[in-house]
């Protein structure tokens, strides 16, 4: 049994490295922690059958690949549709920067056209929630959905701050609006404890 565990561990490690993935990246793809992947690769534990099937699909190998010793791992690359992870990050960052660029353009245009007004700073106040919405969308589609809890928290607090700052500009203090944030944060924390079904 120990020999099988070692073979499975080596094959997982070889496939991961052949595809240029870190333990963290593989863990995120499988919705596990990098510590769990590390234990698999050190043969301290073995993934269950469902996870092995997911690994086989990910790396384009058969299920029995993991229990045989002689392989050329480099032949088994992850589908190229999954490869441009770094391109995805660049696309996400560019998309987020569009929100800030629009805020800067609006600031410049209204500063030049509307004389004697000082509301233009609000463009940047509202740009942050817009950028966070963009990040939430990209993170949900391409990256680690577990990070959505942090993004949603930031989005909620930035929206409440934007509302507060806007009302302050008009001379009304609505600081009590942050009580909604406390309630919302409790909901987000409790929501994060709901176990996610495995694929």
Residue 43 pLDDT exceeds 90: no
Name residues whose C-beta falls within 8 Å of residue 119's C-beta, 6 or more positions apart in sequence. 169
Give the angle 166-169-172 at the CA atoms, nearest 5°. 85
Task: Say which residue, 198 or 123, is predicted with more confidence.
Answer: 123
- Its pTM stands at 0.56
CA 11, 17, 18, 20 torsion: positive or negative? positive
Structure-block tokens of residue 87: 């391109």
d(Cα 121, Cα 123) in Å, to the nearest integer?
5
- Residue (of 198, 160, 187) closest to 55 by Cα position: 198
Between the CA of residue 118 and those of 38, 41, 111, 174, what are the distances in Å? 55, 59, 8, 20
- pLDDT for residue 124 is more than 60: yes
What is the domain partition of the chain in residue ranges? 2-82, 85-192
CA-nearest of 23, 11, 30 to 75 is 11
Q: How confident is the model at residue 19 (pLDDT cuts 50, 70, 90)?
A: confident
Q: Kindly tell me the burial class for residue 37, based on how many C-beta atoms sit within 10 Å of its own C-beta (0-12, 13-18, 19 or more).
A: buried
Q: What is the pLDDT of residues 131-188, one digit of tens each?
A: 999 999 988 888 777 788 999 999 999 999 999 999 998 899 899 999 999 999 999 8
Largest CA-CA distance found in the chain, in angstroms, rounded:
79
CB 95 within 8 A of CB 131: no
Class of domain 2-82: mainly alpha
Among the listed residues 43, 41, 40, 42, the one whose alpha carbon sits nearest the alpha carbon of residue 1: 43
* Over residues 9-19, mean pLDDT: 88
């Amino acid at each position: 049994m120990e020999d099988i565990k070692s073979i499975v561990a080596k094959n997982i490690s070889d496939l991961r490295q052949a595809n240029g993935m870190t333990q963290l990246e593989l863990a995120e793809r499988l919705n596990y922690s990098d510590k769990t992947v590390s234990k698999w690769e050190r043969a301290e534990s073995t993934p269950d059958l469902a996870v092995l099937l997911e690994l086989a699909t990910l790396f384009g190998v058969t299920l029995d690949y993991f229990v045989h010793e002689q392989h050329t791992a480099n032949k088994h690359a992850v589908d190229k549709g999954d490869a441009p992870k770094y391109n995805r990050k660049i696309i996400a960052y560019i998309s987020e920067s569009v929100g800030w660029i629009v805020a800067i353009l609006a600031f410049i245009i209204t500063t030049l056209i509307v004389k004697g007004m000082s509301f233009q700073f609000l463009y940047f106040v509202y740009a942050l929630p817009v950028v966070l919405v963009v990040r939430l969308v990209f993170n949900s589609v391409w990256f680690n959905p577990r990070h959505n809890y942090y993004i949603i928290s930031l989005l909620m607090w930035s929206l409440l701050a934007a509302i507060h700052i806007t009302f302050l500009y008009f001379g009304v203090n609505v600081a009590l609006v942050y009580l909604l944030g406390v309630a919302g944060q409790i909901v987000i924390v409790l929501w994060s404890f709901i176990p996610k079904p495995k694929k």
